[in-house]
Structure 1
């Protein structure tokens, strides 16, 4: 039986010897970010087509306009939600520092010498 691969604590899941070491704090390329945003938008908007088909099936099968309107009402905010999610920044990594950890005083309160003249 092969030895169990050690749990990775790095960027890539799985064994560390299968993946290169990440030595930079650089963000993913703009092309990769755009591709993932387009993918998220497309997936969310793809739920709208089945909603419209289900509304038509519900109306033709059950004759219930109320059920059809409810299904369509659920699909109305999907474009707005898709745009908000697609335009969101990439998720924050666990090792990325938070810039709001502790409040800093606006003015220094240490004593200073004054020159009387």
Structure 2
């Protein structure tokens, strides 16, 4: 016995493409939806972030775009340790502290998904 076919309508493309394709009730047509829904774009954005930047912290986001903090800079606990080392070494470690702080800039990435499901990384 064969399974019943779904009713005619728009479904995710069975080929794996990130698009919706029309099923006429018996077979897939060559008609594709022009744009993806916000929910689909959000899903694509989450997949892109988790696969390209799994360690990143999301600073701000909307359903279709996000700004990620990738690191760099010096963390607060490191500044505490550097301050203690500077005191213990009578200020000599302060030179290293300045060099580290000046040469480790913060980095951010911008990720967006357009209405066709294309992901942009900047």
**Higher radius of gyration, 1 or 2:** 1
TM-score by length of 2: 0.33
TM-score by length of 1: 0.34
Higher RCO (C-alpha 8 Å, min separation 6): 2
Structure showing the higher strand proportion among its residues = 2
